[in-house]
Structure 1
Amino acid sequence: MLKFILRRFGSSFLVLLGASLLLYVLTINSGDPLKDLRESNADNREYLIEQRIDFMGLDQPWYARYWDWLTGVGKCVIGQCDLGTNRSGQQVIDLLGLAAASTLRLVVLATVIAMVFGVLIGILTAIRQYSGIDYVVTFLTFMFFSLPVFWAAVLLKEYLAIGFNDWLASPDPGFSWPTIIVVGLVLGLALQAVLAGNARRRLFTFLGAFVFTCAALPYMDWLNFARYPQLGPVVITLVGVAAAVGATVLGAGLKNRRVLYAGLITAVLGLVAYYATYGLLWDPNWLIILILAVVAIGVAIAIGRLMGGYSKGAATLVSVFTAVVMGGLIIVEHLFRSWPSYLEIVGRPIATIGSETPNFTGTFWEDFLDKGTQLLLPTILLALISLASYSRYTRASMLEVSQQDYIRTARAKGLNERQVILKHAFRNSLIPITTIMAFDFAGLIGGAVITEQVFGWKGMGELFRTGLEQVDPAPVMAFFLVTGTAAVLFNLLADILYAVLDPRIRV
């Protein structure tokens, strides 16, 4: 395996070297970097031209400029990267750091959401092949995949940002009864399609969801939830217990009481942590949250190991999942607490452009809300577009695996459907999905150029586009360095994951 990895690294290095040379030559020959100054009427035009020639090294032959760039990149080995300056004299390494941080903040969450929900939707549609929900999901995913990014971004800005902000700014923001009925009908139809069953079960599921919606939305209006949201210990406990039970059903089955008790104990300790950390989380910092997260995961692992018995692995997973859910709910509760004060500062919370409010000052949670609301629209857009590929690949892979002999053998041995799907079919269907995940994440690190431009994000895509427009090779090569290296590393990671998922590949 080590020999294989080293060989791949060697071949990848040669590919990156050749590609960098080609891209450098293409970039410097794509236009005139002095065009705007040659057409200028400024009195100091000649000085500006000489200054730009000096910054960009235009008085040197192309191979000398490329060698200077390659030498600067080679210094990264000793931690002294020198990626040169752009045509304005700014250090590209500084611009790259800001652009990479902005892009990662934009695409990581969208990619994770698309992966998780895409895989879940793919499994569901594979299980319900050719059912009503399969056709509806297929139609929706391909529709989202086919949407022009700029047009979908405009729709999100109009209805999810401007429309919501106008509704929230009204004297009495509330849900009208036609809206409540439509939401109840849609939720009821979707839930009965997902849960399936006979006609009676579907009817009760639909009626239950509809009645719950018609009761919950007016109650939220009465609480003025839009301006003063809250969860409270009761809701946090109920959701935590539901997470523990649901994870037990999927991971081990409700008959395995040890696993169930591990999850329930974690949920109860999460409620204790809600009160114990309330003052500590009033205005924390990232270090405090990281320490608390590590402690929570450690306690969850300990509970799973102590309570699991012969099912220590399943109990640990259920306990950790429950701890993550409880921790997330506690963070949401603190965000809800800061929402009214945040509204007083910004007025219209859902932003349509930029990655953060300029010169924003507030508490930790208010700053968190500011960056989160700026992130909302582009995250939804990227997740919806990426959702189709993950769901379709998962569905196709699951259907192919389900026809294999070992799946029929597993059912013939008497294993329940949960074990057949999760422990046999799903794991083996992950191999082709792993490739898509690796390359998709590597590609997104390069930045969503159109999305960044529409929403005013100064990320990797913006860095690349600006470099090309200005015929400036330094930003373009910095972009290539990050994205090319990411593509190679994630390709290698996919190969290693193959061996983890399927031991036969190791041979």
Structure 2
Amino acid sequence: MLSFILRRLGIGLVVLVVASYLMYLLTAYSGDPLADLRASTAPNKVQLMEARSQLLNLDVPPYLRYFIWLGGVLKVFIGQFTLGVDPTNAQVTTQLGAAMTSTLQLITLSEFIGLFIGVVIGITTALRQYSGYDYSVTFMSFLFFSLPVFWLAAMLKQYVAIGFNDFLGDPQIPIPLIIALAAISAFLWQGIVGGPWRKRLVTAGVSGIATLAILWYLVSSDWFSNPSLGPVVCAGMGVGIAFIVTALSTGIKDRRALYSSLVTVAVGMALYYPLQYIYVGASVWTILVLAVVAVGVGVLVGWLFRGPDRWRSARTAAITAVGLGFIFVIDRAMGSWQVYATSSYVNNRPIATIGSSTPQLDGDFWISMLDTYSHLLLPTLCLVLVSLASYSRYSRSSTLEVMNQDYIRTARAKGLTERTVVMRHAFRNTLIPVTTLLTLDIGALIGGAVITERVFGWSGMGAMFINGLYKVDVNSVMGFFLVTGATVIVFNIIADVLYSALDPRIRVS
């Protein structure tokens, strides 16, 4: 394995050097970096041109100037790494660090959500092939996939941001709209659950009534102006997470795993009020430490339940603990919503349409988190909707192919439950094509979702690349290229290693 990784890494570095040389020449010959100064009427124009030429080594031909740039990159081995400076004499590494942080913040959330929802949709539609649910999801997936990104972004701005901000001014839902939403919910859930018509009618009735009750409560309690979950809702959601995680991880019949998850939820709810004091001076590190503690508590509870396979109970309880902790964080953030939304800088329009933060906004960790995610909402939603079709279609086709394999028929013939067949035997092999797609998407998105960043005013890698090309700033363009190229190489190697982990029949040699 180690020799394979080293060999692939060596080949990747050779490819990166050759590609970067070609990219450097193409960028350098694409325009004149002194064009703005040539058109200037400044009396010291000549001196400014000479200073920039000396600063950027423009007196050296591009095919030789590349090696000056490469020498700065290779100084990483002696701790003096540099990518040069831009025409304003600012370090490219500083700009690149800020752009990477902004882009990673954007794509990490969108990739995680898009991958999770896409795989779930793909597997469920494969298991319900040619059903109404399958056809509906297929239609919606390809609809969003075919929409131009700039148009979709504009629609999200208009109807999700501006429309919802207007709604918050007077958060009232008309009764006809409530009834219509309940009917839509009933139709969707009966299609997802499926089964005989009697089961469909029961599902539709329960989901419709539940939607009516929830919407009525949200409107009557003025929840949209001052949202919160509270201990009762958190406990209910925790129990739901415990049942769902147990059903997917071990099956509901594994009572030890189920009881360990429910006990974990009980321990978490016992700590609900003490945690509120810890949240007062919280930071990112506080949340990370609490997450580690939650995993530890879940593992301990599952381990104490003993049984023939302690690890199954420990794993299930740990996942449940993380899910409940996530609910607690959302609940605490909601407690600061009214303060954030009514601040003078937000002015009751919390869903942002441009930028990555609200200028001059000051507040604690929770206010900053709300501000960050309110700005992330629209661009993340845009990227998720666009990528959802590819993830769901790949996982659907892969699941259909895997479910027809001989070893799946053998597993069913042995009397294994359908959950065990899907989650234990089919799921890992289903992820192989998705892994390939994910590594390619990360390599592409790390370079910046150029259109999305432009529409939402997000200063990331895409904006840095476009500005570099416009100004013929070779060093900035090469900084962008170095990061994206290295990311593609590294994630392709990771994909090859993951193949052998997902499918025991694949061996890396």
Give the TM bin, normalised by the shorter chain: over 0.9
Task: Give yes or no for contact 1:259–1:308 (8 Å, CA) kept in 2.
Answer: no
Provide the rounded CA distance (Å) in 1 between the counterparts of 2:304 and 2:68.
Answer: 59
Give the structure 2 partner of residue 180 of structure 1: 178
Distance (Å, rounded) in 1 between the aligned partners of 2:306 and 2:40? 75
SS at the partner of 1:458? Answer: coil
Report 1:308-347 matches (<5 A): 308-345=306-343, 346-347=346-347
Q: Does 1:385 align with 2:386?
A: yes
Q: 2:290 aligns with which of 289, 292, 301?
A: 292
Deviations 1:387-437 (A, max 9, x none): 111100101111111111111111111111111111111122222221111
Cα offset, 1:270, TM superposition: 1.2
Contact 2:226–2:338 (8 Å) recurs in 1: yes
In 2: Cα distance, 1:459 partner to 1:42 partner: 32
Q: Is the Cα contact below 8 Å between 1:378 and 1:451 reproduced in 2? A: yes
User: Secondary structure, in 3 states, of the residue corresponding to 1:90?
Assistant: coil
Q: Is the Cα contact below 8 Å between 1:401 and 1:429 reproduced in 2? A: yes
- Answering whether residue 103 of structure 2 is matched by residue 103 of structure 1, we say yes
Q: Over aligned residue pairs, what C-alpha RMSD do you find?
A: 1.2
Correspondent of 2:200 among 199, 202, 224: 202
Offset at residue 309 of structure 1 (A): 2.2
Taking the aligned partners of 2:86 and 2:400, their CA distance within structure 1 comes to 51
Q: 2:259 aligns with which of 258, 261, 266?
A: 261
The whole-number CA distance in structure 2 between the counterparts of 1:110 and 1:308 is: 39
- Measured in 1, the distance between the counterparts of 2:120 and 2:311 equals 22
Matched, 1:419 2:417: no
Q: Alpha-carbon deviations, 1:478-507, whole Å to 9, x = none? A: 011111111000000000011111222226
1:331-410 correspondence to structure 2 within 5 Å: 331-345=329-343, 346-347=346-347, 348-410=349-411
Alpha-carbon distance, 1:63 to partner: 3.5
- Separation (CA, whole Å) in 2 of partners of 1:494 and 1:296: 30
SS in structure 2 of the partner of residue 282 of structure 1:
helix
Q: TM-score, normalised by structure 1?
A: 0.97
Does the CA-based 8 Å contact 2:102-2:459 persist in structure 1? Answer: yes
- Cα deviation for residue 64 of structure 1 reads 3.5
- 8 Å contact 1:445–1:483 — kept in the other structure? yes
Q: Deviations over 1:358-382 (max 9, x none)?
A: 1211121111111110000000000
Instruction: Check 1:330–1:45 CA distance in 2 against 1; reply closer, same or farther (3 A cut).
Output: same
Mapped to 1, the partners of 2:312 and 2:189 lie a distance apart of 28
The one-letter code matched in structure 2 to 1:49 is M
Q: Is the 8 A contact 2:295 2:319 kept in 1?
A: no
In structure 1, the gaps of 5 or more residues are none
For 2:389, the aligned partner's letter is: A
Report which stretch shifted further, 319-328 or 106-115: 319-328
User: Which residue of structure 1 lines up, in the alignment, with residue 10 of structure 2?
Assistant: 10
Task: Determine the structure 2 residue equivalent to 1:136.
Answer: 136
- Pairs aligned (count): 505
Which deviations, in whole Å up to 9, do the C-alpha atoms of 1:58-114 show, x marking residues without a partner? 122223421111111112234332110011111000000000000000010000001
Q: Is the contact made by 1:270 and 1:323 (CA closer than 8 Å) also made in structure 2?
A: yes
Contact 1:230/1:333, CA 8 A, preserved across alignment: yes
Residue type of the alignment partner of 1:160: V
**What CA deviation, in whole Å up to 9, does each residue of 1:332-374 have, x standing for no partner?**
1111110010011112101100000112111211111111100
Q: Please point out which of 206, 221, 224 is paired with 2:222.
A: 224
- How far did 1:56 drift? 1.7
Q: Which runs of 5+ in 2 are unaligned?
A: none
Q: What is the CA–CA distance in structure 1 between the aligned matches of 2:219 and 2:503, rounded to whole Å?
A: 52
**The 10-residue stretch of structure 1 (98-107 or 313-322) with the greater mean CA deviation from structure 2:** 313-322
Q: Aligned to 1:408, what secondary structure does the other structure show?
A: helix
Partner-residue secondary structure (3-state), 2:295? helix
Shift of 1:308: 4.6
Partner Cα distance (1:50, 1:223) in 2 = 69
Identity %: 50
Letter in 2 for 1:468: L
Structure 1 residue 453 corresponds to structure 2 residue 451: no
In 2: Cα distance, 1:207 partner to 1:43 partner: 80
Structure 2 distance, partners of 1:77, 1:148, is 44
* Comparing 324-333 and 451-460, the one that deviates more: 324-333
- The answer to which of 390-399 and 212-221 deviates more is 212-221
Match of 2:464 in 1: 463
Distance 1:360 1:51, change over 3 A: farther
Cα deviation for residue 304 of structure 1 reads: 2.2
Secondary structure in 2 matching 1:281: helix
**CA offset at residue 20 of structure 1?**
0.5
TM-score, with normalisation over the residues of structure 2?
0.97
